[in-house]
Structure 1
């Protein structure tokens, strides 16, 4: 491997493409995905949100 001492170089070019790093297989990603496809960031699209917060009056405070 030839090292280049040039700060303007921003790309790594692999000369041996047979041994490129590959991400772990997709079976490992199941641990990182939400348990249900409907649940994204803890929000369930099937549950309607209440507007009570937006409709507060002085009596509610």
Structure 2
């Protein structure tokens, strides 16, 4: 399970990087997959980093 979890987080990080280039479209894709987004967000909080800052810029 940890492997799948890690894969989800990596995918979220990749999407967040792409979001800087194409914010609107990627954001909508993330909202469609909000379960994955929330999983990545909470994993990020555990590691002490806020993934929401990408959307605040």
Normalising by structure 2, we get a TM-score of 0.20
Structure number, greater radius of gyration: 1
Structure showing greater relative contact order (alpha-carbon pairs closer than 8 Å, 6 or more residues apart): 2
Normalising by structure 1, we get a TM-score of 0.19
Q: Which has the higher helix share?
A: 2
